[in-house]
Every structure is written in structure tokens, then in C-alpha cells.
């Protein structure tokens, strides 16, 4: 590089001086392969142009590639903010114009994605390396190598032309003939229209056509037509900027100027009729809506290089006012009035002249066609939501972000249920605006989400699901997923009942008192329990796991929390403390976790996950809990559902198998049932079971439940589960027999007194049995036995009852309970009997 070329000038930026220094180093080390011939001063736009020459002799060439000369001259446009912006590269000729990645006939497109491909630290060294690579690939025709997506031709948009969003997959031209028709458009704003359908030109264009085409698009806005032409061959790497050049391309496909004007005229008549019902109302006028006039052009330019399938690439020419008026008046040539027909023919000639000289105004096209786009959330757990019907309860700090995530993910419909109103205090952490204050949250959120995705079916219900008598079960019954974000136990209880009736997937989310932890629970459609049930299981599990002690203290404290946060002391409901970033992070992570669980076909029917925030950052806890389905039974008298956990049933089986080994196969056994009775949801949970207490007596016809240690066992479970598990009843077996009460069982139940001090006013009795094959298969293989369950009310006259013994019948052997194998001879009568103790309390 000569001395004057590197002379610093006060007009050059620091980056431009750096570029010249780097080029100097490249030139000195290139042995003449690169020379710098001229450096200009920066222009008014701040670009410094540097002319270089590259040696290209000997470069490999293949058919279809760029034919390079021995030396190629190029111009590098170095911007003021180099190296943070890559330089422009131009050639002083149009020899490269018909090749890929050449814009305006002379600009070389070196970077498909400058934001990720351009490395500022590499500077001019990286640019020259990329330029040499581009020229080599161009010479062998591999700028679009096989297996890579084709770069479609470019139509340079103008601001006044607005934009088109293309939703509907585009038609393709037939072999040897272009496709002619209309693009069905939805008017969105003066600067935007959406393509929502396509119609062949052979079809008529009554108003019903556009109504039919828009039947799946619930948005408001006039539906109109645009002329659409899909060409049989590509038009090059860029579309022309003169109408004459576009008309020449159309003419080569059999669409000459006169036919183009004729088609525009027919569509213009249709659109004028369509616009009449849509009045702008601007400035007090009653003018019809001014619909834009578009010509949509398609070329077979999308696909994979080397592949045989070519999809249609779409661009859109928006006619200026004069072109639109010409198109509107052309139809006069077909008038029955001679004068109007003459005017129409004159307009046709004017239109032809205009088409020969006008400038093309291309609209910006945004692709949303499924055939040519890949969703940016592809592969995310939210894919499960696409096309699903979701019911969301709660539109607050958790429900709001979850609702927005569902709509953006592509749910088919969303029902938002919340009777709360927006107040100014919640704006610090909920996604509402000041203008929403005093509006119902459900309605404000619905309106916001309709702006995000107008085609989504979003319903708002401003009711209290507990007090209003709303048939929640009916709403749940037509959904694919129910999300409870209310953190309200009464709502959770109502949903538990709805799940039992309709069996829909139910996700529940709650956060702790300081918004540092969250719990997401999932009940799949076939699960025996829903959120209320699963959250109870979480409480039991976290009390048993030291690693989850913080979760137990946050959500399930052994002693009720005595201090509460009230944002308006004295008159507001207690709530949690937490910011928008914290609640939104928890909501998003819980939703993603729940969706992963629901999409996992091998996951357990009931599951939960713990999410923690630590120092403002999400951390993995590894705390995913899961449970198999319970054995569900029904108490006929009360209608209560009895859910026997797999663990409890396994303990009963283990005791029955031990009895078969240690005693005789036909000796009855039994033990204590521990769990919870909940009238609100009509459920009795049997969470655990024990074998017979040591002072129990077992025989082939009678089981007598002892009392030794039962009180201590009940207290242990009560203390270590924060009251979720306590004594609820007893079980016993009928080996090789019917699982139903014997006469002795009936008599024993009538005088039921329970072996704990704080006994409930009713108790559960479970009998497991089955004929020989059923009983043996349960013991050997774990298949379901015959089971009888009954919730027994206690009688008042048993309160001070003393131990009673059933009348003897026939002599037989007795075995002691516990792990003893001692036997004794005694007479008795088959069934259940109890060693009774005085009552000491109620449920």
C-alpha cells in the first residue's frame, strides 16, 4: 500500500483508521494477491470506500458458477463504527447479477446472519477471508450448496407500501402454466394486511367467498382480494424496481399488460363492494374504507438446494394511489353505456403507459406459513399446548404470565376465570396497566391477549367458582388442560370434584410466602386424584425428606404461620411478598415443568416438582415427586370415595404373605389404617397400613385387633406429616373367602370402639379377600384382590363401653399379633372383633 493511502485524516473514524492499518498488513503479506488502489475520504453518510483488487487466476470453475477474471476489482465500504459493523462489498459491474447472494446487481451478500457470523475482533482479516471464500464458492456454483436452504429472491421494500403477513400456505404453478387467482386478504391497519387464503381465478368472487375464506379467522376487519400470480420459474436473485421489468416477467408467463389490467379491474370492483359496509368514521365523515390494491407475486424459489421440491416464495407490490384508481376504472370498458366504455378503453391505454414507466413499491412480507417457517419455540415443552383447549383459574401474578405463555404457544382456546379486579398495588408484579385499574382481571387479560394473538378464542368469566354456582365441571369437561393458579384451597377442592367427574389433566401452581419457591402439581386425565390430592401428598413427602425441609417450612409448617403480609394493613387480604421478575420466573419454570410431565407418556399419573429461586437465579432442585394411582373404592352409604395408596395396599399384602409363611394360609390377619377423612371433597385417603398390634389375636375365623402401640403409631404419623396422616380405621383379611363382612364383623362394627385416645367419630373398615385364585394371585403376583370398604359411624352408647367378647362358637387355634408365632386354643366366632378402650376424643 502506498504512503498516501494510509495518511490519516481528521474525517476518518478510529475504526476506519484501524481498517486501513489491517488492510495494509494484508497487502504486505499477500505477495501481490491483494492490492489497494484507492482510498476515499468518508462520504456524508460516513462510509469510507476502499478499492481493492484480488488475484483470482486459477480459481476452479464449474458450469453455472460465476466466471471470474484474472483479477477482480471490488469496493469495500467501511462504516464509521467499524469493526462493530461489517464493511459493504460492491463490484463495479453487473456480471454477478444473476447469481445468488448478489443484491442490486452489484452488492455481494457475504453474511446471511451478520449478528452471529461477523466477528468484530477479526476485522478486515475476517472480511477478506470471507470474501475469498465467497468468490471460490461462486465460481463453482455453490453459493447455495446442496442440502442447504435456498436464499429466496429479494424485493426491496419501501416504507409507504406497508407490510403483508402471510398465514396461508401458498399455491404452486402447474407445469408450464402460471397459477392465477386471488390472495384473500384481511385488512388490519392502513399499513398492514394479512393473507388468510387463496382462490383460483376460475372461482367467482362474491362476498361469500371472502366470508368463507375467513371462517377460521375470528378477527374483525374487512376481507378483500388481491391479484395473485405464481410464476413457473424463478425471477432471479432480486425482484425488479421498475414495473416494466415485472410486466416483462409476467408477459413471459402469458399475462400481458391488458390481461393484468383486466384482472386488476375485476378485483377492484369486488373490493369496492366489500369496502362499503366498512366506514372509517374519521373526521366525522362516513367514507368507505380505503382498501389497498396489491399484486402478490410468487416464484418457485424456496426449498433445499439440490432438492426437487420448490415451494412458492411470496412478494407483494402495493399499487400507489394512481395505479389503484386506474385498476378501479378499467372495468368501465365493459359498460353497456358507450361513453363509459370509451372512458374505460382510454383508461386501459393510460394504464399500459403507466405500467411501462412506474416505480415498483414492494411491501415488506412477513412469513407465517407453516410450509416455509419453523416456530421459534420449536422443541420447547410448550409445543404440547398447540391446538389445545385450556381453562385457567386465576389471572394474578402466576396466572397472567401462564395465560400469555399459553396464547403465544398456540392454544386453540383459553377460558380465563377470575372475579378479582385490578388495583394499583398489583401493578408492581402483575402484567396489567394503569388504564386497567378497577377492571376485572379476566377481561383486561383477555383484551391484552387478543392483541397478542387475535385468532385465539379467548373467553373471560368474572365469577367466583365457589359461590356462583358455576357449573365448573361442564367447563372442565370440554378442556384438554385445566390450570389452577388461584392458590385457593376451596377452589382446589371444587376442582378435585370436577376431576373425578370428567378426568381432565389438571395442573396446579403455588408459590411460597416470599416468592422464592414454587410447587407445580400435575394430575393426568387417568389419575385417581387431582391438585388437592397431589398437594396433600407433597406435604407428606417434604416432611419426610430433609433435603426439602425448606419447602415444608414454607408451604406446610407444623405450626400455622402467625405473621402475614398485608399490602394495605387492616383492610387487604394477606398475600406473599415478591417482585415481577420473581413471580414471572417461577410461573414460567412451573409451567415448563408441568408441560414436560404431561407430555411424558411414561410419567406417573400424579406428580409434582419443586422450583426454587436462589439469589435471583433459577437452580435445579432435582425434587420431582411422583405417585401411582390409588385403588379407588366407594362407600355406598355416604358416597365417600376411598383412595387406598399403593404403599398401604403393599403393606397389607406383605402382612398377608408373612402370615401365610409364619402361621397357616387360612388364618386371618389385619392391622391399622392411617390417613385422612375429608368431607369437603368427599374423600378418605388411606396413606399407610400396619400389621396387627402385638396384643391382637388371629385365627382362621376371627381377627381381634389389639391396642398395644396403636396410639404411639398414630401420634408419630400425625406429628411427622403436620396432621395429614392419623388413625382412620382398621383392616383385616378373609383368605380364600368373600371380601364382605361376616356376621361377626357386622356385630363388631355395630359396637365399634377404636384403639386410640383421640378417635374419630367414624372409622374405615377394609376387608381384603377373594376366592382361591384371586387370593393366591394377589399374594404371589400383586394383582388386585377382592376388597370391601365401609365407613362406619360410631354409636353414642359405645363411649364408655368396656371390653366385650363375642360369644364363643367352635374351638380353634389363636395366633398372637405382631411377629409372634405362638398359638393357643380358644373358642370364638369368625370375623372382626376389637379390644375396646374408652373413647378419648372425636375427629
Cα 579 from chain centroid (whole Å): 23
* Residue 331 confidence (pLDDT) above 90: no
pLDDT one-digit tens code per residue, 87-103: 999 999 989 988 888 88
- The reported pLDDT for the residue numbered 8 is 47
- The residues near 821 (Cβ < 8 Å, ≥ 6 apart) are 662, 663, 815
Categorize the per-residue pLDDT at 808 as very low, low, confident or very high, splitting at 50, 70 and 90. Answer: very low
Give one DSSP letter per residue of 24-43, joined into a string: HHHHHHTTTSEEEEEEPPP-
Q: CA 219, CA 230: separation in Å to the nearest integer?
A: 27
Q: Determine phi and psi for 538, rounding to 5 degrees.
A: -60, -45
Categorize the per-residue pLDDT at 651 as very low, low, confident or very high, splitting at 50, 70 and 90. Answer: very high
Please report, for residues 142, 468, 839, the alpha-carbon distance to residue 795 in angstroms, rounded to integers and kept in the order given: 91, 38, 11
What stretches of 663-809 show up as alpha helix (H) in DSSP?
Answer: 710-720, 743-750, 772-781
Question: Per-residue pLDDT averaged across 551-564, rounded?
Answer: 79
Instruction: Tell me the pLDDT of the chain averaged across its residues.
Output: 86
Question: Per-residue pLDDT averaged across 19-47, rounded?
Answer: 95
- The reported pLDDT for the residue numbered 701 is 86
Domains and CATH numbers, the chain: 3-139 (3.10.110.10), 159-367 (3.40.140), 381-627 (3.40.50.720), 631-834 (3.40.140.10)
Categorize the per-residue pLDDT at 641 as very low, low, confident or very high, splitting at 50, 70 and 90. Answer: very high
- The reported pLDDT for the residue numbered 468 is 64
* Residue 150 confidence (pLDDT) above 80: no
* pLDDT higher at 373 or 572: 373
CB 72 within 8 A of CB 90: no
CB 318 within 8 A of CB 292: yes
| Nearest CA among 696, 839, 677 for reference residue 757 | 839
| Nearest CA among 397, 399, 395 for reference residue 420 | 395
Q: CA 167, CA 301: separation in Å to the nearest integer?
A: 18
* pLDDT higher at 328 or 549: 549
End-to-end alpha-carbon separation of the chain, Å?
Answer: 97
What stretches of 509-630 show up as alpha helix (H) in DSSP?
Answer: 531-544, 549-555, 580-599
Q: CA 433, CA 413: separation in Å to the nearest integer?
A: 24
Q: Determine phi and psi for 477, rounding to 5 degrees.
A: -65, -20
pLDDT one-digit tens code per residue, 498-535: 877 777 899 999 999 899 999 999 999 999 999 999 99
pLDDT one-digit tens code per residue, 754-803: 666 666 778 999 999 999 999 999 999 999 999 999 998 865 454 444 33
- The reported pLDDT for the residue numbered 571 is 53
Categorize the per-residue pLDDT at 753 as very low, low, confident or very high, splitting at 50, 70 and 90. Answer: low
β 362-367/163-166 pair status = parallel
| Nearest CA among 39, 69, 70, 34 for reference residue 54 | 34
* Residue 76 confidence (pLDDT) above 70: yes
Categorize the per-residue pLDDT at 4 as very low, low, confident or very high, splitting at 50, 70 and 90. Answer: very low
- The reported pLDDT for the residue numbered 800 is 42
- The reported pLDDT for the residue numbered 65 is 92
- The reported pLDDT for the residue numbered 146 is 67
Q: CA 723, CA 730: separation in Å to the nearest integer?
A: 19
pLDDT one-digit tens code per residue, 588-605: 999 999 999 999 999 999
* Residue 840 confidence (pLDDT) above 80: no
- The reported pLDDT for the residue numbered 805 is 42
Cα-Cα-Cα-Cα torsion 26, 30, 34, 39, nearest 10 degrees, comes to 30
Q: Which residues pair with 812 in a beta bridge?
A: 826
Q: Which of 69-73, 457-461, 785-789, 823-827 has the lowest mean pLDDT?
A: 823-827
Question: Per-residue pLDDT averaged across 31-47, rounded?
Answer: 94
| 3-class state of residue 482 by DSSP | strand
Amino acid at each position: 500500500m502506498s504512503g498516501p493511502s494510509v495518511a490519516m485524516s481528521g474525517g476518518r473514524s478510529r475504526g476506519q483508521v484501524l481498517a486501513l492499518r489491517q488492510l495494509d498488513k494484508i497487502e504486505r503479506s499477500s505477495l501481490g494477491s491483494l492490492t489497494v488502489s484507492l482510498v476515499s475520504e468518508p462520504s456524508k453518510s460516513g462510509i469510507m470506500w476502499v478499492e481493492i483488487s484480488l488475484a483470482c487466476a486459477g480459481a476452479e470453475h464449474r458450469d453455472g458458477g460465476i466466471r471470474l477474471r484474472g483479477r477482480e476489482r471490488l469496493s469495500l465500504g467501511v462504516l464509521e463504527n467499524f469493526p462493530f459493523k461489517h464493511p459493504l462489498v460492491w463490484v463495479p459491474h453487473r456480471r454477478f447479477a444473476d447469481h445468488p447472494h448478489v443484491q442490486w446487481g452489484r452488492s455481494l451478500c457475504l453474511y446471511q446472519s451478520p449478528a452471529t457470523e461477523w466477528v468484530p475482533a477479526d476485522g478486515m482479516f475476517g472480511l477478506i477471508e470471507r470474501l475469498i471464500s465467497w468468490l471460490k464458492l461462486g465460481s463453482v456454483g455453490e453459493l447455495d450448496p446442496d442440502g442447504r436452504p435456498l436464499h429466496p429472491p429479494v424485493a426491496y421494500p419501501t416504507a409507504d407500501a406497508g407490510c403483508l403477513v402471510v398465514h396461508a400456505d401458498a399455491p404452486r404453478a402447474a407445469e408450464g402454466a402460471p397459477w392465477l387467482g386471488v390472495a384473500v386478504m384481511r385488512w388490519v391497519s392502513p399499513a398492514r394486511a394479512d393473507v388468510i387464503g387463496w382462490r383460483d381465478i376460475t372461482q367467482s368472487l362474491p362476498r361469500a367467498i371472502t366470508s368463507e375464506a375467513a371462517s377460521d379467522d375470528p378477527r374483525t376487519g374487512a376481507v378483500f382480494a388481491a391479484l395473485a400470480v405464481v410464476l413457473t420459474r424463478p425471477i432471479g436473485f432480486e425482484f425488479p424496481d421498475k414495473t416494466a421489468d415485472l410486466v416483462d416477467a409476467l408477459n413471459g408467463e402469458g399475462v400481458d399488460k391488458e390481461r393484468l389490467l383486466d384482472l386488476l379491474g375485476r378485483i377492484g370492483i369486488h373490493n369496492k363492494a366489500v369496502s362499503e359496509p366498512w366506514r372509517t368514521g374519521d373526521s366525522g365523515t362516513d367514507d368507505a374504507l380505503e382498501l389497498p390494491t396489491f399484486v402478490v407475486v410468487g416464484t418457485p424459489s424456496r426449498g433445499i438446494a439440490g432438492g426437487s421440491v420448490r415451494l412458492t416464495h411470496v412478494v407483494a407490490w402495493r399499487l400507489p394511489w394512481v395505479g389503484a384508481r386506474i385498476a378501479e376504472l378499467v372495468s368501465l370498458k365493459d359498460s353497456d353505456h358507450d361513453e363509459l366504455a370509451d372512458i374505460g378503453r382510454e383508461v386501459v391505454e393510460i394504464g399500459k403507459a403507466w405500467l411501462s414507466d412506474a416505480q415498483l413499491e414492494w411491501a415488506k412480507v412477513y412469513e407465517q406459513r407453516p410450509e416455509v417457517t419453523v416456530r421459534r419455540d420449536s422443541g420447547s415443552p410448550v409445543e404440547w399446548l398447540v391446538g389445545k383447549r385450556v381453562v385457567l383459574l386465576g389471572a394474578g401474578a402466576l396466572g397472567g404470565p401462564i395465560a400469555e405463555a399459553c396464547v403465544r404457544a398456540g392454544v386453540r382456546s383459553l377460558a380465563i376465570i377470575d372475579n378479582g379486579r385490578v388495583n394499583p398495588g398489583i401493578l408492581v408484579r402483575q402484567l396489567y396497566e394503569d388504564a386497567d385499574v378497577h377492571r376485572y382481571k379476566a377481561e383486561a387479560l383477555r383484551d391484552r391477549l387478543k392483541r397478542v394473538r387475535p385468532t385465539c378464542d379467548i373467553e373471560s368469566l368474572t365469577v367466583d367458582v365457589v359461590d356462583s354456582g358455576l357449573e365448573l365441571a361442564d367447563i372442565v369437561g370440554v378442556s384438554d388442560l385445566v390450570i389452577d393458579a388461584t392458590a385457593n384451597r376451596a377452589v382446589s377442592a371444587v376442582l378435585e370434584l370436577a376431576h373425578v367427574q370428567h378426568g381432565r389433566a389438571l395442573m396446579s401452581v403455588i408459590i411460597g410466602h416470599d416468592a422464592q419457591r414454587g410447587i407445580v402439581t400435575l394430575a393426568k386425565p387417568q389419575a385417581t386424584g387431582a391438585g388437592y390430592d397431589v398437594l396433600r401428598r407433597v406435604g407428606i413427602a417434604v416432611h419426610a425428606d430433609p433435603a426439602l425441609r425448606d419447602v415444608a417450612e414454607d408451604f406446610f409448617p407444623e405450626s400455622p404461620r402467625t405473621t402475614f403480609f398485608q399490602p394495605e394493613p387492616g383492610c387487604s387480604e394477606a398475600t406473599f411478598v415478591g417482585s415481577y421478575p420473581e413471580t414471572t420466573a417461577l410461573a414460567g419454570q412451573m409451567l415448563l415443568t408441568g408441560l414436560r410431565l404431561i407430555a411424558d407418556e411414561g410419567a406417573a399419573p400424579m406428580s409434582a416438582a419443586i422450583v426454587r429461586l436462589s439469589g435471583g437465579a433459577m437452580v435445579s432442585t432435582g425434587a420431582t415427586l411422583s405417585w401411582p394411582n390409588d385403588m379407588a373404592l366407594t362407600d355406598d352409604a355416604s358416597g365417600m370415595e376411598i383412595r387406598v395408596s399403593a404403599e398401604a395396599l403393599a403393606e397389607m399384602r406383605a402382612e398377608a404373605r408373612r402370615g401365610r409363611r409364619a402361621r397357616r394360609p387360612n388364618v386371618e390377619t389385619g392391622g391399622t389404617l392411617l390417613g385422612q377423612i375429608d368431607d369437603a371433597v368427599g374423600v378418605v385417603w388411606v396413606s399407610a397400613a400396619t400389621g396387627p398390634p402385638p396384643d391382637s389375636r388371629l385365627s382362621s375365623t376371627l381377627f381381634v385387633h389389639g391396642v398395644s402401640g396403636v396410639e404411639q403409631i398414630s401420634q408419630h404419623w400425625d406429628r411427622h406429616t403436620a396432621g395429614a396422616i392419623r388413625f382412620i380405621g382398621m383392616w383385616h383379611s378373609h383368605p380364600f373367602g368373600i371380601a364382605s363382612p361376616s356376621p361377626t364383623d357386622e356385630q363388631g362394627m355395630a359396637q365399634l370402639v377404636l384403639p386410640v385416645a383421640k378417635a374419630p367419630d367414624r372409622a374405615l373398615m377394609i376387608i381384603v379377600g377373594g376366592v382361591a385364585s384371586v387370593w393366591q394371585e394377589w399374594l404371589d403376583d400383586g394383582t388386585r384382590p377382592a376388597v370391601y370398604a365401609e365407613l362406619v359411624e360410631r354409636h353414642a352408647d359405645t363411649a364408655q363401653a368396656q371390653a366385650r367378647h363375642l360369644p364363643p362358637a367352635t374351638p380353634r387355634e389363636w395366633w398372637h399379633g405382631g411377629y409372634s408365632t405362638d398359638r393357643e386354643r380358644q373358642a370364638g366366632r369368625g370375623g372382626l372383633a376389637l379390644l375396646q378402650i374408652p373413647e378419648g376424643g372425636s375427629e
